[in-house]
Amino acid sequence: MEIIIQPSAEAASTLAARHVARLVREKPNAILGLATGSTPLALYRELIRLHRDDGLDFSHVTTFNLDEYVGLAPTHPASYHAFMHENFFAHLNVPASRIHIPDGLATDIPTHCRAYEDAISSAGGLDLQILGIGSDGHIGFNEPSSSLASRTRIKTLTPETRDDNARFFDSPASVPHHVITMGVGTIMDARQVLLLAFGEKKAHAIATAVEGPITAMNPASILQMHPVAKCLLDEPAATQLTRRDYYRWVFEQKPEWQKV
Ligand code: F6R
């Protein structure tokens, strides 16, 4: 994993956006894996700015989101459909037909999950997956103990994740217990992965994912096995990394063209 520590979440998000923009310019029909939550918001804002001010074109891009809450209609304000529309798709030109988000109202969830996997494969596989990380180490909603080979399926959220996400709902009790999420294996099949983590609350999960053993108890730790995984952090998220000075030094030594 390449560890990139930046002075702020804004700076890390700008670097991440530059990386995504370069991919989209080089491969206009790129297949992007997208995340929700607070973490990618600044990255999405910067991509929207690049679309508006620099003409970054998403008209041939295809997207697949990581996850959705089971039981929430796309119109529910806390659904990830609504989140993505409000924070991303409403502001740039990805055609609706190229946007894929798991259907929280699917009546036959296993069939829906298989179809989601098939759609990713038929599109040609994910070129780049954007990830946040849960305070318990989850990626997508693959909670600790998730199979590291898992594919898109239904998962039960931990009480910790339900508490973390309660801020998006009217009350803690209304956070759904179940989600549909890409599996760890689905994420690992992406040709590149960008993991973003900001704030001290993520410091422990990041330290165990990056410097701990690979374990299903911290699903993000499997990214150590990914050939092209970049981990973009702000200073607070990097505080528990024992080799943070080394990671900073490595990044500073890189030629400009290689700095994401
Ligand atoms: C979101 C997702 C989750 C979040 C994680 C961090 O689609 O899959 O893994 O990335 O829960 O959430 P935030 O960014 O809100 O701290």
pLDDT single digits (tens) 65-110 = 999 999 999 999 999 999 999 999 999 999 999 999 999 999 999 9
DSSP state of 92: S
Q: Do residues 48 and 21 make contact, with C-beta atoms less than 8 angstroms apart?
A: no
- Whether 143 is catalytic is yes
* Nearest protein Cα to ligand 1, atom 4: 132
pLDDT for the residue numbered 22: 97
Percent of the chain with pLDDT over 90: 97
Question: Which residue stretches of 6-55 are H helix?
Answer: 9-26, 41-54
pLDDT for the residue numbered 255: 87
Catalytic residue among 19, 51, 67, 164: 67
Q: What is the pLDDT of residues 2-42, one digit of tens each?
A: 999 999 999 999 999 999 999 999 999 999 999 999 999 99
Percent of the chain with pLDDT over 70: 100
CA gap 235, 177 in Å, rounded? 32
- Whether 138 is catalytic is yes
Q: What CA–CA distances, in Å, run from 104 to 71, 90, 134, 137, 152?
A: 5, 20, 20, 23, 13
SS3 of residue 186 by DSSP: helix
Placement of tokens 């990394």 in the chain: 241
- Ligand 1: does its nearest atom lie under 6 Å from the Cβ of 141? yes
The full set of domain ranges for the chain reads 2-253
More confident residue, 257 or 99: 99
Q: Which CATH class is domain 2-253?
A: alpha beta
pLDDT for the residue numbered 139: 98
CA gap 193, 188 in Å, rounded? 8
CA gap 80, 166 in Å, rounded? 14
224 — pLDDT class (breaks 50, 70, 90): very high
pLDDT for the residue numbered 260: 73
SS3 of residue 197 by DSSP: strand
CA gap 14, 17 in Å, rounded? 5
Q: Do residues 231 and 223 make contact, with C-beta atoms less than 8 angstroms apart?
A: yes
Residue 37 CA to ligand 1 center (angstroms) comes to 5
Q: Do residues 69 and 104 make contact, with C-beta atoms less than 8 angstroms apart?
A: yes
Residue 259 has pLDDT above 90, yes or no: no
Name the residue among 140, 158, 162, 160 with its Cα closest to residue 150: 140
The neighbouring-strand residues paired with 69 are 179
